[in-house]
Structure 1
């Protein structure tokens, strides 16, 4: 169904939010207008309202309950911090998964690094041309173009993983896992599928927290992840891991401690997560929003388990 909405100027946007029950007690209307002009845009900021309840009946039916503009601003800032942390952790996971894969290749005496790439390409069937096209499109890229030109289609594994997309890299990762019958690598692959989804969202600056309390998961939680959370009550795990974004964040955290081998990198991640925990309740406790607070508290418990 196509829905056409009227374009609103900044003052009209603030008025519309007020009509929807959003208050301006903690954040004045004039400051809100300034914020929407210089800091964030209406559509993105207001997406965080999805975490708040509406009055079910009475004179304020369908108007938001206990939602001040200040809370939207606060969540937008927290979300920005979280996206940055997610992206950095995801990039670290990608790097150390490549290190792990190449160690497996080095320890396999039957592999020379070239034949496995040729076999992988053949295994891809019609998708082979898609992967090759994506590589060729980077031929003049100032970062990887010289590598592509130098090897001219005859890529060893350690070169291939530097020039293909993360999605194609995961295909290669699974191919190696299947080829070597390596269950650990295969489990990594399924973990990194969730990492990929979260990484792409963060890299494209998509909101993470805008509907974190309501978006149901389409996938089951990885068994190893569930086992790692055994100190949390079973029912509480089921409740929160049934939400897609929470499940993906927890999976990212587990994957980071499972794949990243550097003590220094893990220490850096720990410090970032400590900062995130302190920032969430710095200005507001969110006691007035039990579902959102419960989600934050669950993520804090998961962070404490892993870091």
Structure 2
């Protein structure tokens, strides 16, 4: 792409609004196709017109072509730096697979959130030392003032008649605004507040396993947010997303009990933070009885597993991302 000396008025996290030169120019869909051609992407199984239509209506350039980084480039010769046998049809296919991953794991993450709330409420209802109200009061008093204020402002705004409010949960909040019981509180707070409440309960009941589940649920929350916002997952299935994050012992117990040995492959794949979080979602889905409670999620995961195997067969072992997909398919198989 040609360099430009045009001066842009831009905004950035570091400098706010400022003047800057040397930025990439914004491209039309036609220009985006030309850019891809210059990088070695072919348009044989997907025509240029079809690609332009996809880039105009189906998804943004950044989204549709995000998986290009998973494909090899020529290391030398006249084609050095160009993609090896990458057609735009491959990018559309992987974009479709990414959507199926998000759909299945959104179902799973939402189920985990709902099952976790239900498990906590049931445990409180069966504990003669709890009445359902005091535990909410104690939780709110235990939080730092800034976070407690955030929860209170969020709930107040959502029930307020002076603003648009929350037409889905606002009436529940208003009905219990003077004395909030746990069954209403957990129904209307965010996933983040559920996590804080989960940690509070684990300490209140001195439950080490529940405390570990709280940290696993943080990964589930990240997956839920990613899937809800339509962020890409598949484009991170490579070594560049390796992490030093230490998984919970409960996760390793799940792997061992499901016959996934501590092999070189397992160790390699579990260095990838995206794989870790998808695994954490499956572990909590399984721990909370998901496969026996949610036929919709089970069907979505089963369909995804079949799609993953199809892609693995199509692209073969010469593409590094295939091994990640195969590992993910094996994890799903142990869940359903």
TM (norm. structure 1) is: 0.93
Aligned-partner Cα distance in 1 for 2:330–2:125: 38
Alignment of 1:24-173 (within 5 A): 24-126=43-145, 127-139=147-159, 140-173=165-198
Structure 2 counterpart of 1:180, from 190, 205, 213: 205
What do the CA deviations read for 1:161-184 (whole angstroms, capped 9, x no partner)?
Answer: 011111011101110111011223
Size of the alignment, in residue pairs? 306
Aligned-partner Cα distance in 1 for 2:321–2:291: 33
- 1:92 and 1:260 in contact (8 A); partners too: no
Deviates more, 1:159-168 or 1:267-276: 267-276
Aligned-partner Cα distance in 2 for 1:237–1:281: 18
What do the CA deviations read for 1:190-214 (whole angstroms, capped 9, x no partner)?
Answer: 1111000110011111111122223
Structure 1 counterpart of 2:222, from 180, 193, 197: 197
Structure 2 counterpart of 1:275, from 279, 283, 303: 303
What do the CA deviations read for 1:198-254 (whole angstroms, capped 9, x no partner)?
Answer: 100111111111222231224112222222223334211110010011111111111
Provide the secondary structure at the position in 1 that maps to 2:275: helix
Residue segments in structure 1 that go unaligned for 5+ positions in a row: none
TM (norm. structure 2) is: 0.86
- 2:242 and 2:272 in contact (8 A); partners too: yes
RMSD: 1.9
Structure 1 residue 189: deviation in Å? Answer: 1.0
Residue segments in structure 2 that go unaligned for 5+ positions in a row: 1-13, 15-19, 160-164
Aligned-partner Cα distance in 1 for 2:202–2:73: 49
What do the CA deviations read for 1:37-86 (whole angstroms, capped 9, x no partner)?
Answer: 23222111111112122222322222222321111100111111111111
Aligned-partner Cα distance in 1 for 2:209–2:113: 16
Aligned-partner Cα distance in 1 for 2:316–2:280: 26
Aligned-partner Cα distance in 1 for 2:181–2:286: 28
Structure 1 residue 304: deviation in Å? Answer: 1.6
Aligned-partner Cα distance in 2 for 1:271–1:289: 30
Higher RCO, Cα 8 Å, sep 6+: 1
Structure 1 residue 103: deviation in Å? Answer: 1.6
Provide the secondary structure at the position in 1 that maps to 2:101: helix
Give 2:243's aligned residue.
217
Provide the secondary structure at the position in 2 that maps to 1:100: helix
Provide the secondary structure at the position in 1 that maps to 2:235: coil
Aligned-partner Cα distance in 2 for 1:211–1:125: 35
Give 2:40's aligned residue.
21
What do the CA deviations read for 1:235-286 (whole angstroms, capped 9, x no partner)?
Answer: 1111001001111111111110101357241x43332222112223546611
Structure 1 residue 122: deviation in Å? Answer: 1.2
- 1:13 and 1:42 in contact (8 A); partners too: yes
Structure 1 residue 22: deviation in Å? Answer: 1.1
Aligned-partner Cα distance in 2 for 1:22–1:305: 37
Provide the secondary structure at the position in 1 that maps to 2:231: coil
Deviates more, 1:115-124 or 1:223-232: 223-232
Deviates more, 1:78-87 or 1:3-12: 3-12
Aligned-partner Cα distance in 1 for 2:98–2:210: 31
